[in-house]
Chain A
Amino acid sequence: MSDPVLSVRDLVVEIPTRNAVLRPVDHVSYDIEPGEILGVVGESGAGKSMTGNAVIGLLDRPAAIAGGEIRLKGQRIDNLPYEDMRRLRGKEIGMVFQDPLTSLNPLLQIGDQLTETMLAHLEITETEARTRAIAALDEVGIPAAASRIDSYPHEFSGGMRQRVVIALALCAEPSLIIADEPTTALDVSVQAQIIALLKRLCRERRTAVMLVTHDMGVIAEAADRVAVMYAGRLAELGPVRDVVQSPRHPYTEGLMGSTPLASRGQHRLRQIPGSMPRLGSLPDGCAFHPRCPKAQDRCRANPTPSLDADQGRAACWFPVEQLEDAQ
């Protein structure tokens, strides 16, 4: 196996507050290989965005990395000075966020935004950059790219803007893309276009992608492996088919089961009782135990060990398979 593009080990993010220190990311470890899409799922507030933002060095204060290591192609990046990190972000790491408007400069023509980014990170001439910018727009499916390159962002539809953001994230040919809910605000037809695009780029350029989304369907179709987060920790990590179809962690099981597709033909959907605890009031033991149908004394008393990046699928004292084996 080739070396991973991104390697995260025991990442801890902390937020100091007046009463306590909160841990929105708590000992999270994972790798992303070249050409691989890692899906990240979990309910709102689970720490998905914080994990992505820690990798790109864009945590909003007072949140800060408090432990662990992040390596990009073997090089440690979690302790880089601000300027180095900024350069790395444009060159090696591309970012796509939910709202395309915040990632584009409304006052700058689309072509200029692309060429500026390329000139800053690649050793090429201005004419070359412009040719490449047109090719980049063409690649993300903007029709008549050569004539639309001088448009302003507001002249494009939402879906086209999001594709421009992807073109922008890709134009310096990064080895890693962090896509945080890149299609959440978009229609299914546009979503399908964006996902197809990401998949093609992974395949053709061996880009590694971290894809954060709420949509289990998108995960199933796009991701190679899935990380499931709950209350700041990794609950489960594994190949997409296994995690979706035969989850080991009871939380994953509940999450997959509560989608309308999973309960097709039933009058009621399966649901997980209760709600995810707030960071300030996490229960003892496994954070999921108050909602877990299989919780036992051990779950109430002892936190589960964190998942390793390369072994162990579910951070659970009694993962689903084991329970079934026992019966």
Chain B
Amino acid sequence: MSILVSVRNLTRVFDVSKPWLNRLIERLPKALLTAVSDVSFDIPEQQVYALVGESGSGKSTIGKMVVGLLNPSDGLVEVEGIDLSRETDIDKVEAVRSDIQMIFQDPFASLNPRWKVRDIIAEPVAAKGGDTDGLAERLLEQVGLSALDAGKFPHEFSGGQRQRICIARALASEPKLIVCDEPTSALDVSVQAQVLNLMSDLKDEFGLTYLFISHDLTVVQHMADKIGVLYLGRLVEEADPDTLFTRPAHPYSQMLLAAAPKMDGFGREVPPPQGEIPDPINPPAGCAFNPRCPLAIDICRKERPELQQIEGARVACHRIEEALAAHRAVEPA
């Protein structure tokens, strides 16, 4: 399997300082927020790589850097071997750009209400002067809508149908990679099932590769070939779904999985996770999870753990052995 997307030491820092005059008057230092910090992973062709993590963990920021909507502060993203933020050959950049599309969370906000569905779907192709004859109609049928819908406006569709229109638009330029940022979070379960099935079918049919961003672990477990768990902008664990869900290694992954509600968890009473996600502007030293981690010791508060390979997974934790033992104690295999 060849690698389609390669993310290396990706870092993004936002300047969230107050305007300089306020800073001068109030004697405030510059405030920098590290949204993504030293993240590396690969996505092989025709695979689904999922990023999970709680709000603010940097999922969308990584997604935007992968499609080239945002430049990295450090590190790089290569798609088909091309680094979009540094490549100078315009033709190469254009070629790779058209191989990448993005689908967003909110199917209501991401469609222009004044355009007909036909024009919305064909826009990425029309913008490049391509042939759009019958294109929208064909794509609409491919995503399970009717060719007749091409003449309608977005407000005439339900949430799930609008997300199908977004998917049709993403498919128009025949991309290889689709970055999906919470594609079903705004939909309820029955509609979500339709959209996820459609995405799986299209992947098989067109050989698509997905970077799939979600905070819903059940969705990710269903869709992903590989899952990256983010905490405060850092990749803390990477594993395939079976491994992650049967043997989460990082204490944060373990906490997430234990806290997620289970459909067979009738009357389940587990002590809920303690603590809050720390302030990303002043993250804790060492391992960012240490203030909430039941296993943290001195080294966790001082040294940032590197990702290391263990049994088919990559885990960044100083206390892997203890964490694995702790998990075996709660859930014997």
**Residues in chain A within 8 A of chain B (CB atoms):** 43-44, 157-160, 187-189, 191-193, 195-196, 199, 214-218, 220-221, 240-241, 244-245, 254-256, 258-264, 267-272, 275
Please indicate the chain B residues that have their CB under 8 angstroms from the CB of A199 in the complex. 269
Please indicate the chain B residues that have their CB under 8 angstroms from the CB of A191 in the complex. 259, 261
With both beta carbons as reference points, the residue of chain B lying nearest to A159 in the complex is identified as B276
**Residues in chain B within 8 A of chain A (CB atoms):** 54-55, 158-161, 187-194, 196-197, 200-201, 215, 217-219, 221-222, 255-256, 259-273, 276-277
Decide: B266 and A258 in contact? CB cutoff 8 A. no
Q: Out of B189, B197, B270, which one reaches A255, CB within 8 Å?
A: B189
In the complex, number of A-B residue pairs with CB atoms less than 8 Å apart? 122
Decide: B259 and A216 in contact? CB cutoff 8 A. no
Within the assembled complex, what's the spacing in Å between the Cα atoms of A192 and B187?
21
Decide: B255 and A189 in contact? CB cutoff 8 A. yes
Decide: B259 and A189 in contact? CB cutoff 8 A. yes
**A–B complex contacts, Cβ < 8 Å, 16 sampled:** A43-B191, A44-B188, A188-B259, A192-B260, A195-B261, A196-B271, A199-B269, A215-B261, A216-B189, A259-B218, A260-B218, A261-B263, A269-B193, A269-B196, A270-B193, A272-B190
With both beta carbons as reference points, the residue of chain A lying nearest to B194 in the complex is identified as A271
Within the assembled complex, what's the spacing in Å between the Cα atoms of A245 and B270?
21
Please indicate the chain A residues that have their CB under 8 angstroms from the CB of B260 in the complex. 188, 192, 217
Please indicate the chain B residues that have their CB under 8 angstroms from the CB of A254 in the complex. 190
Decide: B197 and A221 in contact? CB cutoff 8 A. no
With both beta carbons as reference points, the residue of chain B lying nearest to A203 in the complex is identified as B269
Within the assembled complex, what's the spacing in Å between the Cα atoms of A272 and B191?
8
- CB proximity of B269 to chain A, nearest CB, Å: 7
Within the assembled complex, what's the spacing in Å between the Cα atoms of A217 and B262?
5
User: Given A43-B190, A188-B256, A192-B272, is A217 in contact with B263 using a C-beta cutoff of 8 Å?
Assistant: yes
- CB proximity of B188 to chain A, nearest CB, Å: 5
Within the assembled complex, what's the spacing in Å between the Cα atoms of A38 and B146?
39
Please indicate the chain A residues that have their CB under 8 angstroms from the CB of B261 in the complex. 188, 191-192, 195, 215, 217-218, 220-221
Please indicate the chain A residues that have their CB under 8 angstroms from the CB of B259 in the complex. 188-189, 191-192
Within the assembled complex, what's the spacing in Å between the Cα atoms of A221 and B219?
19
User: Given A244-B263, A259-B263, is A214 in contact with B188 using a C-beta cutoff of 8 Å?
Assistant: yes
Decide: A158 and B272 in contact? CB cutoff 8 A. no
Decide: B263 and A262 in contact? CB cutoff 8 A. yes
- CB proximity of A280 to chain B, nearest CB, Å: 13
With both beta carbons as reference points, the residue of chain A lying nearest to B265 in the complex is identified as A221
Please indicate the chain A residues that have their CB under 8 angstroms from the CB of B262 in the complex. 217, 220-221, 261
Decide: B218 and A188 in contact? CB cutoff 8 A. no
Decide: A216 and B273 in contact? CB cutoff 8 A. no
Within the assembled complex, what's the spacing in Å between the Cα atoms of A241 and B264?
8
Decide: A188 and B217 in contact? CB cutoff 8 A. yes
Within the assembled complex, what's the spacing in Å between the Cα atoms of A269 and B219?
10
Please indicate the chain A residues that have their CB under 8 angstroms from the CB of B255 in the complex. 189
Q: A241-B266, A254-B190, A261-B263 are in contact. List 6 more A-B contacts (CB 8 A).
A: A192-B273, A193-B272, A218-B261, A221-B267, A258-B193, A268-B200
Within the assembled complex, what's the spacing in Å between the Cα atoms of A255 and B271?
29
Please indicate the chain B residues that have their CB under 8 angstroms from the CB of A195 in the complex. 261, 272
- CB proximity of A47 to chain B, nearest CB, Å: 13
